Structure 1
Amino acid sequence: MKRDIPPIHAPSGTHVLADLSGIAAEKLSNCELLQTLLCRAAEAAEAHVLFSHFHTFGDGQGVTGVVLLAESHITIHTWPECGFAAADIFMCGSAQPELALALIERTLQPLTTSVKSINRTGVQA
């Protein structure tokens, strides 16, 4: 007997992973700046912010934060003592994560950026 297998939901979108180095420590330890920046980056990408939460680990210490989007998410983790930030931007639909990254780069002004972009278009079974 042959069984019909229901289609598997196939996520699709663009996932951008960025390592940003050589950033001024005061930018990477400023929780308010980073939260405002990532929310504005989402808007620049034409994504819709649902919720954001950011946490600082203390004066001069790193920040971790997430912006939850209708289209997925943007996260950042910072190490001010190393001048380093890791950003994770995943957006589905018509949102443009590269525009979010461009605003993040313009604001944080890293000396170097290493980017990996993954086109996540799933295949239905």
Structure 2
Amino acid sequence: MSDGPELTHVFGSVSNLDETAFDQDLFYNNLCRDLCDALSLNILEIKKHSFEPCGFTLLALLEESHMSFHTWPEHKCVFFDLFTCSRLNIGVLSTLIRSRYHEVYPDAVVKLQGFDRSFNGLSGEKFRSSEY
């Protein structure tokens, strides 16, 4: 029995992207919203910061914590991070991210790592880690 928070942290990268992946505001905004809908997460605000000559960071502030996408055009990759104070179905997240990227970027390589954490007053912190 847990008397503390249930936490989920998923992070990873999407590589082997072409140059069009780094100025697709609408793609990332929609992906963020669709992930939150599928995972029952509540968006408070989405902010984006653009870099010159291209690339950006998109951050969604969630009631449950945060989600971010950071593009790295010179390495043809995007980094993803999601942290929540609730347990999530990481398989749903993985499937949705992979399908959305592969619809637009068929050669994309998606690598995700997830951690579920639960706190128990008697035994301390417990981790469960998986690759997706």
TM-score (norm 2): 0.72
Question: Structure 2 residue aligned with 1:87, among 72, 80, 95?
Answer: 80
Q: Identity over aligned residues, as a percent?
A: 24
1:10 Cα deviation after fit = 4.4
Question: Counterpart of 1:6?
Answer: none
Query: Which of 14, 18, 23 in structure 2 is aligned with 1:24?
Result: 18
CA distance in 2, matches of 1:12, 1:28: 34
SS at match of 1:93: coil
Runs of 4+, deviation exceeding 3 Å: 94-98
Alpha carbons 2:15, 2:109 under 8 Å: kept: yes
Decide whether the 8 Å contact of 1:28 with 1:34 is kept in 2: no
Instruction: Supply the distance in 2 between the matched residues of 1:42 and 1:83 (Cα, whole angstroms).
Output: 25
Count of residue pairs the alignment pairs up? 116
2:56 to 55, 63, 70: 63
In structure 2, stretches of 5+ residues that fail to align are 123-132
If the length of structure 1 is used for normalisation, what is the TM-score?
A: 0.76
Does the 8 Å contact 2:35/2:96 carry over to 1? Answer: yes
Which one has a bigger Cα radius of gyration?
1
In the TM superposition, what are the counterparts of 1:41-60 in structure 2 within 5 Å? 41-58=35-52
Q: Which of 63, 67, 79 is residue 74 of structure 1 equivalent to? A: 67
Which residue of 1 is the match for residue 127 of structure 2?
none
Hey, which of these two has a bigger chunk of strand by percent?
2
Counterpart for residue 9 of structure 2: 15
